[in-house]
Structure 1
Amino acid sequence: MARLLGVDIPNNKRVEYALRYIYGIGPVRAKLICKEAGIPEEMRAQELNEEHINKIMTVIADNQFKLEGDLRREIMSNLKRLSAIKSYRGLRHMRGLPVRGQRTSTNARTRKGKRKTVGVGQKA
């Protein structure tokens, strides 16, 4: 199992798809990296040797992609900044509600979590 940037990429997948396991690399970047590194489309991750891995790392370094820890840290700092200045988006993030204007009277279950039924209490 090859390791890139501290992430184990699966052996049985094609390199283009295996690179997507790295946080910050999606379909377009994976294709670009493979093209610039000169890796054939049908090559599997288990067939990568040290030379190929070094080429992939140099392509990532040359393009200065923010990946893994740096990207996570930047996203978290952006969310903390929004929360600190008490912007609308920051408040929505803090409360765990949809951020981009979706309706919440129905739906929004992914953000709000499982339904909490509020019933009428009994008098003692």
Structure 2
Amino acid sequence: MPRLLGVEIPAKKKVAISLRYIYGIGPQRADQVVQEAGIDPNQRADALTEEQLNKILHIITEHKWVVEGDLRRELTGNLKRLQAINCYRGVRHRRSLPVRGQRTSTNARTRKGPRRTVGVSKPTAPAK
């Protein structure tokens, strides 16, 4: 299995598909990297040479794309900032509610989790 940016990319898949396993590289960027590196799009990842792997790595760093740990850190930092300043979006994130204006009276189950039934309990009989 080839290793790029600390990620084991699948060896039996085509290069463009394998590159998508790197967090921050999607279909368009993967195709762009393959095209700029001059790699055959039908080539499998296990057939990549050290030179081609270095070329792919160079292209990613040349474009200054934020990937993997740096991107994850940036996203969590953004969420923490929103929560720290108590803005509306930060409060919605904190309460695990939909952030972008969706309705919550019905639906929103993905964000809110499974239903929790709130029932009325019977009063206990006084002891004699």
TM over 0.5: yes
Q: Rg larger in 1 or in 2?
A: 2
Tell me which residue corresponds to 1:117: 117
* 3-state SS of 1:23 partner: coil
Aligned residue pairs: how many? Answer: 124
Partner of 1:89: 89
C-alpha separation in 2, matches of 1:59 and 1:25 = 12
- The letter for the 2-side match of 1:89 is R
Q: Percent identity?
A: 61
- The whole-number CA distance in structure 1 between the counterparts of 2:49 and 2:123 is 73
Residue identity opposite 1:28 in structure 2: Q
> Aligned with 2:98: secondary structure?
coil
Code of the residue aligned with 2:58 in structure 1: it is: T
Query: TM-score if structure 1 supplies the norm length?
Result: 0.97
Shift of 1:119: 1.1
2:71 aligned partner: 71
* Poorly superposed stretches of 4+, deviation over 4 Å: none
Residue 21 (structure 1) aligns with: 21
What is the rounded CA distance, in whole Å, between the counterparts of 2:110 and 2:11 in structure 1?
32
Alpha-carbon RMSD across the aligned residues, in angstroms, is 0.7
DSSP 3-state at the match of 2:102: coil
Mapped partners of 1:98, 1:81: distance in 2: 18
Q: Which has the higher helix share?
A: 1
In structure 1, stretches of 5+ residues that fail to align are: none
User: TM-score normalized by structure 2?
Assistant: 0.94
Letter aligned with residue 52 of structure 2: H
Give the Cα separation in 2 of the matches to 1:33 and 1:12.
18
